[in-house]
Copies of this chain bind each other. A is one copy, B any other.
Amino acid sequence: MPTIVTAVFTPKEGAKQSLIEAFEATIPAVHAEPGCELYSIHDAEDGTITMIEKWTTREQLDAHGRGQAVAALGAAAGPYLQQPAVVTFMTPLPAGTAEQGAL
């Protein structure tokens, strides 16, 4: 069963675009990590940048969390954040069709 993650980042006032650029610079390295099926950012109407991730195994997600790309991302994004990211780990509950019922 894959692990899904949401991470909600609240930018400082006026820093949303800089935050997006920090993510864009780091995302290719994350996409190259083992088990990374989805690592995507979104411009949310609540003013945050919301990341949605899918990792093949929890072990690979944990390795990602200890890796260089996350450290680089934290260093690049940190100055633009108003507060620490809110990160939530979750397990899929597939329902309905296979295509629509799970990431």
Contacts and interface: CB of A to CB of B under 8 A. Distances in A.
B41 A95 contact: yes
Contact of A52 (B24, B45, B52): B52
26 contacts: A6-B6, A20-B93, A23-B93, A24-B93, A27-B95, A27-B101, A28-B96, A28-B97, A31-B101, A37-B100, A38-B100, A38-B103, A39-B96, A40-B92, A40-B93, A40-B102, A40-B103, A41-B93, A42-B90, A43-B90, A43-B91, A44-B88, A44-B89, A44-B90, A45-B89, A50-B88
Interface in A41-83: 41-46, 48-50, 52
A38 B54 CA distance: 14
